[in-house]
Chains A and B, each alone.
Chain A
């Protein structure tokens, strides 16, 4: 299993390169994960999406679909793609310390 070094801590990653244990996550780690995804700074809207992703994961046991994300996170589709270029659901899940979303939508 591969690992990542953040703030002096070694964290385990799953096969997709996402954090293996969601309890390892904190905001500092999110900022570092974002940098490795090419997002230098997380603004308020980024956090809105990240916190929504984590909330849904805890409640439903899985990452939300892009439709749900668009409808309920308070951030619309266009903005989502601008905030997380090249795949908003996939990238925001990674930064939020969650497994890669499994759905087709």
Chain B
């Protein structure tokens, strides 16, 4: 049998609900399997750890060609642009997630951090968006450069989401 995975370093680069969750689920799942995990948030992915924004991540209903309306038909892009559509899709997805015990972003970040996963923010993005450490939730450990990210990822599998 091949060597088991011992460390993962997960990059979250998107800030939509469906962009944020895969990385969080993978990080939590890694810790549950006894795999060391690190989360690195970059570009719009930072929204998941910015204190004032992390509770309002939403589903992108425009430009998502896999988006379906209830019943299974493809949703025309123009329909996705109707005001309220994004809020509705987000509400529906959050409801389904709650049913299978996937926590809201803030609670999930707390849980993952308590599970021993380090949480980092990308320095380039922090500078670009004129952010500072105070803008982040308390679980964000450090703002680091891409070089430091690679250093901290030594021996890890890097997963980009």
Contacts and interface: CB of A to CB of B under 8 A. Distances in A.
Contact of A86 (B34, B107, B111): B34
A90 B32 CA distance: 7
20 contacts: A66-B28, A66-B32, A66-B111, A67-B103, A67-B107, A67-B111, A68-B101, A70-B111, A77-B111, A78-B114, A86-B33, A87-B31, A87-B33, A87-B34, A88-B32, A89-B32, A103-B101, A104-B25, A104-B100, A105-B102
Contact of A104 (B29, B34, B103, B115): B29
Nearest to B24: A105
Contacts of A74: none
Interface of A: 65-68, 70, 76-78, 81, 85-90, 103-105
Contacts, number: 47
A66 B27 CA distance: 13
Interface in B76-104: 100-103
A50 B75 CA distance: 47
Nearest to A87: B34
Contacts of B33: 86-87, 90
Interface in B9-62: 25, 28-29, 31-34
A55 to B, nearest CB: 17
A85 B111 contact: no
Closest CB pairs A-B (n = 6): A86-B34, A77-B114, A65-B101, A87-B34, A78-B114, A67-B101
Contacts of A70: 111
Contact of A103 (B100, B103, B111): B100
B155 interface: no
B34 to A, nearest CB: 3
A68 B103 CA distance: 10
Given A66-B32, A103-B101, A105-B103, 16 more contacts: A66-B111, A67-B103, A76-B114, A77-B110, A77-B114, A78-B114, A85-B34, A86-B33, A87-B34, A89-B32, A90-B32, A90-B34, A104-B25, A105-B28, A105-B100, A105-B101
Contacts of A88: 32
Contacts of B34: 85-87, 90
